[in-house]
């Protein structure tokens, strides 16, 4: 379609992760090991997420492995989960892997794939994923706080059902259960499917996923040499928002982190909030619902069921760690230990209960007058921003220097390119790599 004004050359940022080139749309953020951005493929197509390993990457948590290994495992586990989901027709609420750079070796053995063995550890790495357009669950919680409204119970039930279904799918791997082991609120993302008013809850980041509860001998030894009682031990190991915590957000012993659970609290009944209990450091094991009405509340009931499942899971993990420690560090014994499969408590009873309760309550979130404020002040703006994100155009700047300054620390390989941009801000024609360094080229142009 012809445009009224002639295209004007602008500068954009090109990620050259062969064989596909992408233009930067927006930076999302930077963690200890990765930088994520929204990009669009050169030549058109839906925007997607680029996750790139930083050159200064440091692995967080007590896993004795490199950030590169975790980056590769994220790719390998997501691919494996989606392959199994596709084979069984399961709708997996995990962003789809669209590709990785450089490609991981094709079809390695299952066990090998899980450990993320790959190309040289120092090579740059990036992976491409379908976009979850609605931001993090943490962001939605903050939007509710700012608007002075609660997250409706129906939506919390819906999110809880979805995250437990995804975990159950992972745990039900026919070869060995896959534990996420890093399920904190930043790894729970919202996505508004086309034409839907209410979002779904996806989970991301499988870099610390594993088939064992106790992947390192050191972790196992530490678990048995400490003479803390169970409550102290539990407190020590989770979770990352606590001032005294030293788990560095890595906790294999919980199904969900406490800080994620606290976002899935019941808006109608009080629960102890473990993340604000830092002074006493105690988390009561007893049900401390003060409101008698909580007894018949489906969300409070589901949370109690989850607490029981978590306790059973915790006991299995502790037993596994003890077995690993008792086995010593000999190679044969370690192998024997790895062969022993964990009996994971099933989440099916909670999921079944939630399925029966969710539909009716979720429908009311979309229609009932009591949630009108939530819809108007939170849901509609968040959804509008989500849809705008999907339609966002590549970021352009009038000078190359401006872009280079903004891209300091962004993992490559990337180049500044000259683009023709039409009146709508859409890039047209092929991007031309600015050849001799951005600033000099700017002067030449
Ligand atoms: Zn922690
Ligand atoms: Zn945490
Ligand atoms: Zn309740």
Note the pLDDT tens digit of each residue in 281-297: 444 444 444 556 667 89
Between the CA of 113 and the centroid of ligand 1 the distance, in Å, is 28
Ligand nearest to the CA of 181: 2
Q: How far is the CA of 421 from the CAs of 40, 390, 436, in angstroms?
A: 15, 19, 22
Residues, CB within 5 angstroms of ligand 2 (ion): 184, 239-240, 257, 259
Query: 275 alpha carbon to ligand 1 midpoint, in Å?
Result: 10
Could you tell me the distance, in angstroms and rounded to a whole number, from the CA of residue 208 to the centre of ligand 2?
A: 13
**Hey, how many other C-beta atoms are within 10 angstroms of the C-beta on 176?**
18
- Respond yes or no on whether the N-terminal peptide bond of residue 222 is cis (omega within 30° of 0): no
CATH of 1-130+392-445, one of 3.40.50.300, 3.30.200.20, 3.40.710.10, 1.10.10.60: 3.30.200.20
CA distance 352 to 3: 55
* Most distant pair of Cα atoms in the chain: their distance: 76
CA 247–ligand 2 middle distance (angstroms): 9
Q: Which numbered ligand comes closest to the C-alpha of 259?
A: 2
Q: How far is the CA of 318 from the centre of ligand 1 (A)?
A: 18
Q: Which ligand has the nearest atom to the CA of 237?
A: 1
Q: Which residue has the tokens 């494996």?
A: 80
Q: Ligand 3 centre and the CA of 283: distance in Å?
A: 19
Task: For residue range 36-74, list pLDDT tens digits in order.
Answer: 999 999 878 899 999 999 877 765 554 567 888 889 999
Residues near 108 by beta carbon (within 8 Å), at least 6 away in sequence: 76, 117
Q: How far is the CA of 39 from the centre of ligand 1 (A)?
A: 32
Q: Please give the distance, rounded to the nearest whole angstrom, from the Cα atom of residue 131 to the centre of ligand 2.
A: 23
List the Cα angle 361/364/367 in 5-degree steps.
165
Distance 69 CA to ligand 1 centre (A): 21
Q: Look up the ipTM and state it.
A: 0.63
Two structure tokens written together for 43? 């030549």
Rg (CA), the chain: 24
Confidence of residue 426 (pLDDT cuts 50, 70, 90): low
Spatial separation of the C-alpha atoms in residues 135 and 120, rounded to whole Å: 33
What pLDDT was estimated at residue 120?
Answer: 54
Q: Which two tokens stand for residue 88?
A: 């069984």
CA of 254 to the centre of ligand 2 (A): 10
Closest CA to 384 of 192, 201, 145, 150: 192
Strand, helix or coil for residue 100: strand
> 192, 133 in Cβ contact below 8 A?
yes
Task: State the chain's mean pLDDT as an integer.
Answer: 77
Query: Minimum mean pLDDT among 294-303, 350-359, 383-392, 399-408: which range?
Result: 399-408
> Torsions phi, psi of 258, nearest 5?
-60, -35
Cα 287 to ligand 3 centroid, rounded to whole Å = 12
Segment 114-126 mean pLDDT: 60
Torsion of CA 389, 390, 393, 397, to 10 degrees: 30
Could you tell me if 62 and 248 are in contact, meaning their C-beta atoms sit under 8 angstroms apart?
yes
How far apart are the CA of 222 and the centre of ligand 2, in A?
20
Report domain extents, the chain.
1-130+392-445, 152-369
The larger pLDDT score, comparing residue 163 to residue 4, is at 163
Label residue 333 by pLDDT band (50, 70, 90): low
Task: Measure the CA–CA gap between 417 and 427, rounded to whole angstroms.
Answer: 11
In this predicted model, what pLDDT tens digit does every residue of 214-231 receive, in sequence order? 443 344 344 444 433 333
C-alpha triplet 106, 112, 113: angle, nearest 5°: 50
Ligand 2 centre from 376 Cα, in Å?
A: 31
Residues 6+ apart with CB under 8 A from 137: 159, 185, 188, 189, 190, 201, 260, 263
Instruction: Please name which ligand lies nearest the alpha carbon of 160.
Output: 3
Q: 273 pLDDT exceeds 80?
A: no
Ligand 2 mean position to 57 CA, how many Å? 20
Which two tokens mark 240? 């990352």
């Amino acid at each position: 379609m012809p445009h009224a004004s002639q295209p004007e050359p602008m500068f954009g940022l090109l990620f050259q992760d062969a064989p596909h080139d992408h233009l930067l749309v927006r930076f999302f953020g930077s963690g200890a090991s990765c930088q994520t951005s929204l990009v669009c493929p050169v030549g058109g197509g839906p925007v997607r997420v680029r996750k790139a390993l930083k050159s200064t990457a440091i692995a967080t948590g007590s896993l004795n492995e490199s950030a590169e290994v975790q980056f590769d495992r994220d790719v390998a586990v997501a691919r494996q989960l989606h392959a199994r989901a596709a084979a069984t027709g399961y709708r997996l609420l995990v962003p789809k892997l669209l590709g990785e750079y450089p490609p991981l070796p094709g079809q390695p053995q299952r066990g090998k794939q899980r450990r993320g063995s790959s190309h040289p550890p120092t090579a740059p790495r990036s992976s491409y994923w379908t976009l979850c357009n609605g931001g993090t669950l943490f962001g939605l919680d903050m939007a509710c706080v700012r608007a002075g409204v609660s997250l409706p119970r129906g939506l919390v039930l819906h999110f809880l059902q979805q995250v437990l279904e995804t975990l159950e799918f992972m745990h039900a791997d026919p070869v060995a259960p896959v534990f996420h082991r890093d399920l904190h609120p930043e790894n729970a993302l919202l996505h508004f499917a086309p034409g839907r008013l209410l979002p779904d809850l996806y989970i991301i980041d499988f870099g610390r996923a594993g088939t064992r509860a106790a992947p390192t001998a050191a972790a196992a030894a530490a678990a048995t040499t400490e003479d803390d009682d169970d409550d102290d031990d539990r407190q020590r190991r989770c979770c990352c928002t606590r001032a005294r915590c030293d788990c560095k957000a890595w906790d294999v012993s919980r199904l969900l982190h406490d800080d994620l659970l606290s976002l899935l609290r019941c808006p109608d009944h009080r629960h102890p909030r473990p993340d604000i209990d830092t002074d006493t450091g105690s988390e009561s094991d007893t049900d401390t619902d003060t409101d008698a009405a909580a007894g018949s509340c489906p969300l409070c009931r589901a949370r109690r069921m989850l607490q029981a499942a978590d306790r059973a899971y915790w006991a299995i993990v502790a037993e596994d760690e003890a077995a690993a420690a008792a086995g010593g560090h000999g190679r044969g014994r370690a192998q024997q230990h790895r062969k022993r499969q964990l009996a994971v408590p099933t989440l099916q009873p909670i999921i079944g209960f939630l399925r029966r309760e969710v539909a009716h309550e979720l429908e009311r979130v979309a229609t009932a007058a009591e949630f009108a404020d939530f819809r108007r002040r939170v849901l509609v703006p968040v959804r509008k921003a989500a849809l705008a994100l999907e339609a966002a155009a590549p970021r352009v700047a009038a000078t190359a220097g401006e872009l280079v300054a903004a891209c300091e620390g962004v993992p490559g390989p990337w180049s500044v390119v000259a683009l023709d941009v039409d009146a709508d801000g859409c890039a047209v024609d092929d991007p031309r790599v600015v050849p001799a360094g951005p600033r000099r080229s700017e002067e030449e142009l």
